[in-house]
Amino acid sequence: MEQNPNSSSSKADRKTIEKNRRNQMKTLLTQLNSLVPHQSNKEALSLPDRIGEAISYIKTKQIRLEELKEKRDSLIEPKKSKNVMGSLREPHVDVQEMGSALQVVLITGSDCRFMFREAIRVLHEEGAQVVNASFYVAGDTIFHTLHSKLQG
């Protein structure tokens, strides 16, 4: 039986190709292992287990990424949609002084819930005593009325 010289060279080519493929896989697995945090197990994991852990780690990171994207979008979108609908607006403050009495009318959107407390704080800092405080909600608008007495 005569051997075909092309047969032995093609066999060597296949061996070289397979060797290169294995080296490339080894390099890729090393890179994958360097990207995935190591478990605190003292025993070495088999290759399928390491790949399974990497897949699990990637899936948890993808889920976390989606959650964070949704949170980001939920924080950005309400502001955009309210701006389009005109709900976000600057608070309107009207102050009337009547002798030693002071009436403050504060009109805000529902997105400015802290303004009422802030108005009371400012009045106290300026030496006014709040006698009466009330609010009324109409849709996305809140009307705050503060009656105070100037001291001093």
Sign of CA dihedral 48, 53, 54, 55: positive
Give the per-residue pLDDT at 132.
92
Give the per-residue pLDDT at 75.
82
Domains 5-83 and 92-150 share a fold: no
- Rounded CA separation 116/87 (Å): 18
At the topology level, CATH places domain 5-83 in: MYOD Basic-Helix-Loop-Helix Domain, subunit B (4.10.280)
Name the nearest CA neighbour of 130 among 144, 109, 111, 142.
144
Listed by start position, the domains of the chain span: 5-83, 92-150
Give the per-residue pLDDT at 88.
56
Give the per-residue pLDDT at 99.
84
Under DSSP, is residue 137 helix (H, G, I), strand (E, B) or coil? strand
Q: Are 136 and 147 in contact (CB under 8 A)?
A: no
Per-residue pLDDT of the chain (152 residues; tens, 9 = 90+): 455 656 778 888 999 999 999 999 999 999 988 888 876 666 778 888 888 888 999 999 999 999 998 888 888 876 555 554 444 568 888 888 888 898 999 998 887 778 888 888 888 888 889 999 988 888 888 899 999 998 76
Name the nearest CA neighbour of 139 among 85, 103, 73, 92.
85
Sign of CA dihedral 80, 84, 87, 89: positive
Class of the domain covering 92-150: alpha beta
